Amino acid sequence: MSVFLNAYLPDTDPSSKKQVVDRGLTKQSAEAAASPYKLIELADIRGMVKTRMPFSHKGTYGHALLIAGAENTMGAALLCAKGALYAGAGLVSLSIPAQGLTALNCALPEAMYLERSQLLRSRILDNYDAIAIGPGIGRMSGSHAIMAEIFALKQPVVLDADAFAILSMHPDLFHLLPKDSVLSPHVKEFDGLFGPHKNWWERLQTARTEAKKRGIVILLKNQYTFIIDHEGDVCINQTGNPAMSQGGMGDVLTGMLAAYLAQGYSAKAAAVLSCYFHGKAGDELSMTHFNVTASQVALQIPISVKSLFNKED
């Protein structure tokens, strides 16, 4: 990864500048070598992605459980499931209200269904390699108990959207968040969790502090998403564009995060790969589309990943 100094952040001093330093760091660039800010590059992604091996099968690539959607927000759940399916999870189960079962079977026959009531059944959650919760769940019945059961597994969990409101209302639950969990808030959600901030620089510093303190990964979403790991280091994702400024993009990203965790990637690698390919899919679509939908981005993901193996540096 190239070192990135004085990263450009909205709301900061307009005179601030950015400097990208080559991998071959010299003695004069010792300050750069110590920088916690790194730009994600294509070579980094190629070094992370695991190829699909002969004799592998659906069990090889993990089982992701997505807890998403409410009666009036079933789209969020379906988009989340699309993200997980197209990011390569071997199996995807979606826990949604029963009213959404017909929509699920029609739109995504590859995904399985888990009744909400089953989430509190003893040891049911042990069947999954990764769990994500939040998109569109609203004021889900039993949300506190369900999240407590998930956290009790002591395995990384992906949290987004309405899951942050649950954590904000239950600080005691927040303290039980498993190590290496991945949080992907937008600006308002971040401030709801950690308090108001005046600008992006303040948010970034809070994210670094909280990620280190809690041992988690935080995705601070923007056009250039900041991925903050448990050491407080910041990976800056450069893919993505304004054509993607439509609802549902975050739901797809949540599904991708769960898919990569289910496939055995570390929390940081899952975050880096998800952000990169999510944005890359949007970049490729923007070459022929003025604006793109979240569903289009999800469909483009495996194409974008495949192209990684077809091009030379």
Nearest to 84 by CA among 180, 76, 143, 206: 76
pLDDT score at 25: 35
94: left (phi over 0), alpha (psi -120 to 50) or beta: beta
Q: For strand 37-39 and strand 2-5, is the pairing parallel, antiparallel, or unpaired?
A: antiparallel
pLDDT score at 2: 67
Residue 2, domain member (yes or no): no
Residue 13, domain member (yes or no): no
Boundaries of domain holding 160: 57-307
pLDDT at 51 over 60: yes
Q: Total domain count for the chain?
A: 1
Q: What's the CATH number where 205 sits?
A: 3.40.1190.20
Nearest to 271 by CA among 279, 262, 261: 261
Write out the H or E segment, with its range, that includes residue 45: helix 42-48
138-148 burial, b for 16+ CB within 10 Å, e for fewer?
Answer: eebeebeebbe
pLDDT score at 15: 43
Report the chain's mean pLDDT, rounded to a whole number.
91
Q: Once rounded to an integer, what is the mean pLDDT over residues 102-119?
A: 97
pLDDT score at 223: 85
Nearest to 251 by CA among 86, 103, 134, 126: 134
Q: Once rounded to an integer, what is the mean pLDDT over residues 221-239?
A: 96
Residue 46, domain member (yes or no): no
Q: Once rounded to an integer, what is the mean pLDDT over residues 251-271?
A: 98
